[in-house]
Amino acid sequence: MDKYQVRISVRNMVEFLLQSGDINQALGCSKALQQGTLIHRRLQAEAGSDYRSEVRLSYEVDFDDFIILIEGIADGIITGGELPLIDEIKSTSAPLDIIDENYSTVHWAQAKCYGWMYLYQTGAPMVTVRLTYCHSESNEVKRFSKSFSYDELKEFFFNLVEQYAVWIRMKIQHINDRNKSILCMPFPFPQYRLGQRRLAAEVYYSIRDGRSLFAQAPTGTGKTISVLFPSIKAMGQGMGEKIFYLTAKTLTRQAAEHAISIMSEKGLILRSITLTAKDKACFMDTTVCNPADCSYACGHYDRVNNAVFDILQRERIITREILLDYARKHHICPFEYSLDISLWTDCIICDYNHVFDPRVYLRRFFDPGGDYILLIDEAHNLAERARKMYSADLSKQSLMKYRKEWKQSAPDVYREFSAVNRWFINARKMFDKSYDAKVIDFPSELIVHVEKFTGALEKFVMESPLSIRNELLELFFACRAFLMSASFFDERFICYVIREGSDIRLRLLCADPSYLLQKACGKGRSAVFFSGTLQPLEFYKSILGGRAEDRTLCLTSPFPSENLCLMIAGNISTRYRNREDSYEKIAEYIKAAIEAKNGNYMVFFPSYEYMMNVYSIYVSSWPGDYTIVQHTDMNDVEREGFLDFFEDTPEKTMIAFVVMGGIFSEGIDLIGERLSGAVIVGVGLPQLSLERNLISQYYQSANGQGFEYAYMLPGLNRVMQAAGRVIRTSTDRGFVLLIDDRFLHRRYLDQYPAEWQHYHRVYNSRDVSCILHDFWNNAG
């Protein structure tokens, strides 16, 4: 049997083993990384002909049951002197007068490991190790040198390797136990549901073949277990190093945790962790990551490795609550702690942005990538999320607040600010009174000025008092996000300027995120995009970056079609120009729909204003009916309180007025008698806007389907999500009433799922009453 092999860089090994000290919020922009590379190259070029640059070194340590290959690249080796010299270059923004010989244990350890590898390869008895620090702005250089014997460096190196081997032994033991448990693990339920085996098989084949899968798996399919079970089976067979279960909602994260828990009860040994956004994980009232403001940041790195080892020895399914308990126990930052734990887990349950957002993706995994399985739940939401991730804007007003401070105390910042500000002043001249937005060419000259301004601003931010630092950080990160978006800019982006009162805003809009999503998924082995409403599949395959060779799967609902009574009222137009004429008719339809049976009902509207206009007519016409209304900006507590009104066996009929596409349209389970029907007003079109129109124009040019891609199909998905609230289990019965003449147009009828083909066409409220009285009376 082949031994388990581990490859790790010298830098990663010494940073992991010897990290110490506090968490300090670092700005860490890519510009600084590029600058560091340039400094390395300059110093190497100036070092002379006997200076060998970028020398690859490695050493393999063979243990009884595994091999560790430690490798790295020495910045420079000089062999012309009395002793060979290993040079390790570090660029820094820290003042050189605070850097002494003992500044960094990690830096010395990295250089000493290179020294040992060199002595081993050459057989030389001694070597000099040198640390070269170069200030990133002044280019001033400071150097420290030490000489070591072969035996000294050998002892030092193998001491580190033995420390690291403790972690590898733990990992190998876990992988062996995990794979044995996977081999023996049965499907965790007595039998597969309709379509479930087919979905599981398609997931497995996609992982095996290294392709993506786009799957519509309606409610009741058991989609969470159907994608996790084959993924874990594939992992046990060596196809996939780690599983990322991506979702945007707490409910679906909990469903993934629950599915793993069910399999664990059947014998599965698997480590999983649920990652949470920094602000939600933070123990402090305000997330400020420095030791002066947060005791959990103070000394975090001194304690974190022991904390990681502790939790891995005791827990397998690491939920947010478990993570927070251990973080308190060891008094460390829970967010950074979770990231370190994730390196040792098999499954990571997290948000879309941990993989796709260029500002916050998990670099430790996706630079450059790995043998990863990506399971993307509720994938119908990803394209809109991706547009927001890859788009960015910058406004004149956001830059103006601190211009006086910059002018007085930061001339470098003020100079670059002035260049950016001049661009916005000139941009204002593009407008006349007839319009407030204008599409423009990519502003290359402005990008250069913003880069310089961001670089100057970075130093100013770090030297600013804490009282204003957070606001300055917001501006800094906004500029950095803008530059990130600019780096992606191509024909799939649209650049426009918009006038908003006295302000001018420049927007880089990612109209089509498919290429960037495909590129991100390419850093893993396979991606499975799945949802209960991923229809039409070719549309979602297109906008989510699918390739011709990727698989698609469309499952029908496993529930009896006769359990859903679907009606379409095609005699009402809900178009904006016709809405005022529709209020009373819609109110009558609602009344007819809820009268046939005592129960709870939801009425979905395309906008808050439309909802309130119909609501006011309804309550004035039937003041004795029990109604509740969704309010704007409801928080999680208010949302849960709203859902608590949906009692399982209501004594009195309740009608909830809500907004389609909002917090009650998806991600909620109102099983059984908690919801008996839904009235859906309108075809769910996104609100007309400049940005939507630009997206429409882009797709019209790209594939001739601008209206469909920008408006119709996203709107229809909202409708299907809302309708999906009604039937949640095989025993649920209920109705959906669609109100809008467009629901009977061929372009809509062609997109309906199979379970919608038995709809009733209704012409008035009396038709609804008759159909629903028959439906409820025939309930068996």
- Write out the H or E segment, with its range, that includes residue 530: strand 526-531
Distance in angstroms (rounded) separating the CA atoms of residues 487 and 30: 11
The pLDDT value recorded for residue 74 is 92
Give the pair of three-digit tokens for residue 11: 């830098």
Could you identify the residue written with the tokens 């429409």? 696
Q: Can you list the alpha helix ranges (DSSP code H) found in 410-548?
A: 411-428, 444-463, 466-488, 514-521, 537-543
Indicate if the pLDDT at residue 461 is higher than 50.
yes
Given the DSSP bridges, would you call strands 317-318 and 272-274 parallel, antiparallel or unpaired? parallel
Residues β-bridged to residue 376: 246, 529
Question: What would the pLDDT profile of 198-221 be if each residue is shown by its tens digit?
Answer: 999 999 999 999 999 999 999 999
Q: What distances in angstroms separate CA 412 from CA 265, 452, 457, one per listed residue?
A: 62, 9, 8
The pLDDT value recorded for residue 27 is 54
Distance in angstroms (rounded) separating the CA atoms of residues 2 and 6: 12
- Are the C-beta atoms of 393 and 407 separated by less than 8 Å? no
Residue whose C-alpha is closest to residue 306's, from 6, 10, 17, 107:
17
pLDDT band at 46 (very low <50, low <70, confident <90, very high): low
Could you identify the residue written with the tokens 């009268």? 595
Give me the count of residues in the chain.
780
Distance in angstroms (rounded) separating the CA atoms of residues 243 and 271: 11
pTM exceeds 0.85 for this model? yes
- Write out the H or E segment, with its range, that includes residue 678: strand 677-681
Distance in angstroms (rounded) separating the CA atoms of residues 288 and 724: 41
Assigned CATH class of 561-777: alpha beta
Distance in angstroms (rounded) separating the CA atoms of residues 215 and 553: 5
The pLDDT value recorded for residue 48 is 66
Question: What would the pLDDT profile of 62-94 be if each residue is shown by its tens digit?
Answer: 999 999 999 999 999 998 788 999 999 888 877
Mean per-residue pLDDT, 410-432 = 91
With both helix axes pointing from N to C terminus, report the angle between 10-18 and 150-184 in degrees, rounded to the nearest 10.
Answer: 90
Q: In sequence order, what E strands does 239-385 have?
A: 242-246, 272-274, 317-318, 347-350, 372-376
CA quadruple 449, 451, 454, 459: dihedral sign = negative
Given the DSSP bridges, would you call strands 437-439 and 372-376 parallel, antiparallel or unpaired? unpaired
Question: What would the pLDDT profile of 704-726 be if each residue is shown by its tens digit?
Answer: 999 999 999 999 999 999 999 99
Given the DSSP bridges, would you call strands 51-62 and 85-92 parallel, antiparallel or unpaired? unpaired
Give the pair of three-digit tokens for residue 638: 């208010």
With both helix axes pointing from N to C terminus, report the angle between 30-46 and 444-463 in degrees, rounded to the nearest 10.
Answer: 90
Give the pair of three-digit tokens for residue 695: 């997206």
Q: What distances in angstroms separate CA 34 from CA 43, 357, 490, one per listed residue?
A: 15, 21, 22
Indicate if the pLDDT at residue 26 is higher than 80.
no
Distance in angstroms (rounded) separating the CA atoms of residues 290 and 287: 9
Please report, in angstroms and rounded to a whole number, the separation of the first and last CA atoms in the chain. 60
3-state class (DSSP) for residue 136: coil
Mean per-residue pLDDT, 576-600 = 96
Mean pLDDT of the chain: 93
CA–centroid distance for 90 within its chain: 32
Question: What would the pLDDT profile of 484-495 be if each residue is shown by its tens digit?
Answer: 999 999 999 999
DSSP letter for each residue of 204-267: HHHHHHT--EEEE--TTS-HHHHHHHHHHHHHHTTS-SEEEEE-SSHHHHHHHHHHHHHHHHTT
CA triplet 583, 584, 586: central angle to 5 degrees?
A: 70
Question: What would the pLDDT profile of 274-323 be if each residue is shown by its tens digit?
Answer: 999 998 899 988 887 888 889 999 999 999 999 999 999 999 999 999 99
Q: What distances in angstroms separate CA 57 from CA 47, 556, 716, one per listed residue?
A: 20, 57, 58
Give the pair of three-digit tokens for residue 748: 């809509």
- Are the C-beta atoms of 550 and 212 separated by less than 8 Å? yes
Question: What would the pLDDT profile of 390-407 be if each residue is shown by its tens digit?
Answer: 999 999 999 998 888 898
- Are the C-beta atoms of 459 and 476 separated by less than 8 Å? no
**Right CATH for 4-166 from 3.40.605.10, 3.90.320.10, 3.10.20.880, 3.40.47.10:** 3.90.320.10
CA quadruple 664, 665, 668, 673: dihedral sign = positive
Distance in angstroms (rounded) separating the CA atoms of residues 130 and 341: 33
Distance in angstroms (rounded) separating the CA atoms of residues 109 and 114: 9
Indicate if the pLDDT at residue 458 is higher than 90.
no
Residue whose C-alpha is closest to residue 721's, from 645, 664, 654:
664
- Are the C-beta atoms of 594 and 655 separated by less than 8 Å? yes
- Write out the H or E segment, with its range, that includes residue 584: helix 579-595
Indicate if the pLDDT at residue 130 is higher than 50.
yes
Which of 224-228, 310-314, 422-426, 471-475 is predicted least confidently? 471-475
CA–centroid distance for 620 within its chain: 45
Indicate if the pLDDT at residue 347 is higher than 90.
yes
- Are the C-beta atoms of 469 and 293 separated by less than 8 Å? no
- Are the C-beta atoms of 504 and 436 separated by less than 8 Å? no
Residue whose C-alpha is closest to residue 337's, from 347, 348, 346, 326:
326
The pLDDT value recorded for residue 45 is 65
Buried b (16+ CB within 10 A) or exposed e, 157-183: beebbeebbebbeebbebbeebeebbe
Mean per-residue pLDDT, 516-526 = 98
The pLDDT value recorded for residue 30 is 46
Radius of gyration of the chain (CA): 30
pLDDT band at 32 (very low <50, low <70, confident <90, very high): low
Give the pair of three-digit tokens for residue 489: 């800019």
Question: What would the pLDDT profile of 427-447 be if each residue is shown by its tens digit?
Answer: 988 887 777 899 999 999 999
Buried b (16+ CB within 10 A) or exposed e, 356-381: bbbeebbeebbeeeeebbbbbbbbbb
Q: What distances in angstroms separate CA 359 from CA 123, 342, 480, one per listed residue?
A: 46, 19, 9
Indicate if the pLDDT at residue 1 is higher than 70.
no
Return the DSSP state at 384: H
- Are the C-beta atoms of 498 and 436 separated by less than 8 Å? yes
728: region left, alpha or beta (phi > 0 left; psi from -120 to 50 alpha): alpha
3-state class (DSSP) for residue 84: coil
Which residues are CB-neighbours of 711 under 8 A, at least 6 positions away? Answer: 685, 686, 692, 696
Indicate if the pLDDT at residue 374 is higher than 60.
yes
Distance in angstroms (rounded) separating the CA atoms of residues 75 and 280: 40
